[in-house]
C-alpha cells in the first residue's frame, strides 16, 4: 500500500463523486426505463436444443424473415404458467413463431412442463447455467423479446404477458413492425 497504490482508493472515490454530482445536477427521470437492447441486433448465443439430436440454436435462428418472439421461461416459475395460455394463443391464432429459452432448468423438467401444458414454441433452447440470460440482460423469468424480420430486438416485455398487457402492449408493438 505504498507508492502510487495508496492513492487508488482516493481517486476511485473522487471519480464516483464527480459522477454523482453530474447526475444530480442534470434533469433526468430514472423512472423512464429503456432497454439498451431495443433496436439492436439480438445478442449472439449458441444453446443446445431441448430436442435430442437437434442442432444448437443460435442467433441466426432468429432471422426467419418474419417477426418472432423470444420467451425466457422455466418450469419452476409460477408466472410462466400464468402467461402460458397467452403464448399458446399467440402461437396458434396469430401464427407467431416463438423461440423458447428454458432458463436455469433441467431438460427433464422443461420437457415435463411443456408436455403438461402444451408447447407454444417452434424451438426450445436450454440455458442451463443462465449465461444467455446475462447476455440478454433479463432480470427474471418470464421475459419476452419481440424480434423483427431483420433480427432486431424491437420490444422487451418484463414479467408475464397476462391481463391486458397482451392487448395493450405486446400486440400494438407487433402491428407496428408488421
Partner 1 sequence: MIPEIGHFALIVALIVSLMGAVIPHMAIARGDTRLMALAGQFAYSQFLLASVAFGALTYAYVISDFSVLNVAANSHTAKPLLYKVSGVWGNHEGSLMLWVLILSLFSACIALGGKNLPLRFRSRVLAVQSALLVGFLLFVLLTSNPFMRLDPAPFEGNGLNPLLQDPGLAFHPPMLYIGYVGLSVAFSFAVAALMEGEVTPLWARWVRPWTLAAWVFLTAGIALGSWWAYYELGWGGWWFWDPVENASFMPWLAATALLHSSIVVEKRDALKSWTILLAIVAFSFSLLGTFIVRSGVLTSVHAFAVDPERGIFILAFLAVIIGGSLSLFAWRAPKLAPSGIFSLASRESALVLNNILLATFAGVVLVGTLYPLLLEAVNGTQITVGPPFFEFAASVLMSPLIVALGFGPLLAWKRGNISRASQILLPAVIIALVVFWVTIWQDAAGTFMTGFGIALGLWLIISVGMEINKKANFWKHPAGFIGRAKKLPRATWGMSLAHAGLGIILLAITVSEAWTSEALRLMKVGDSENVGGYDFTLEQVTPVAGPNYTAVRARFLVEHNGRFIAKLAPEDRVYSDPPMNTTEAGIYPTFLGDVYAVIGEYAGSDAWSVRLYFKPLISGLWLGAGLMAIGGLISLSDRRQRIGAPAGKKRSKRVLKPKKAGA
- In the block, cell 417452434 appears at 122
Distance separating alpha carbons of residues 112 and 123, to the nearest angstrom: 15
Considering the rule CB under 8 A, would residue 43 count as an interface residue with partner 1?
Answer: no
Secondary structure element (H or E) that encloses residue 71, with its range: strand 68-73
What are the start-end ranges of the H helices in 26-69? none
CB of 71 to partner 1, least distance (A): 17
Length of the chain: 178
Q: Is 6 near partner 1 (CB under 8 A)?
A: yes
Pick the closer one to partner 1 by CB: 27 or 93.
27
* Residue position matching grid coordinates 397482451: 166
Q: Which of 52, 93, 108, 115 binds partner 1 (CB under 8 A)?
A: 108
Cell numbers for 86, please give them: 397467452
By beta-carbon proximity to partner 1, the closer residue of 106 and 167 is 106
Residues that bind partner 1 (CB under 8 A): 1-2, 6-7, 9-10, 13-14, 16-17, 19-25, 27-36, 76, 78, 81-82, 104, 106, 108-109, 128-130, 133-134, 137-140
Amino acid at each position: 500500500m505504498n507508492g502510487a497504490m495508496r492513492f487508488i482508493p482516493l481517486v476511485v472515490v473522487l471519480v464516483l463523486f464527480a459522477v454523482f454530482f453530474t447526475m444530480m445536477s442534470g434533469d433526468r427521470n430514472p423512472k423512464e426505463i429503456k432497454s439498451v437492447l431495443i433496436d439492436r441486433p439480438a445478442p449472439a448465443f449458441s444453446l443446445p436444443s431441448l430436442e435430442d439430436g437437434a442442432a444448437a440454436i443460435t442467433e441466426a435462428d432468429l432471422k426467419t424473415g418474419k417477426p418472432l418472439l423470444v420467451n425466457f421461461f422455466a418450469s419452476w416459475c409460477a408466472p410462466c404458467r400464468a402467461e402460458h395460455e397467452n403464448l399458446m394463443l399467440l402461437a396458434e391464432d396469430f401464427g407467431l413463431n416463438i423461440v423458447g429459452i428454458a432458463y436455469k432448468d433441467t431438460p427433464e423438467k422443461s420437457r415435463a412442463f411443456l408436455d403438461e401444458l402444451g408447447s407454444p414454441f417452434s424451438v426450445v433452447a436450454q440455458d442451463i447455467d443462465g449465461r444467455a440470460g446475462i447476455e440478454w440482460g433479463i432480470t427474471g423469468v418470464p421475459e419476452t423479446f419481440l424480434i423483427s424480420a431483420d433480427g432486431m430486438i424491437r420490444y422487451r416485455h418484463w414479467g408475464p404477458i397476462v391481463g391486458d398487457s397482451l392487448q395493450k402492449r405486446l400486440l400494438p408493438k407487433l402491428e407496428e413492425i408488421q
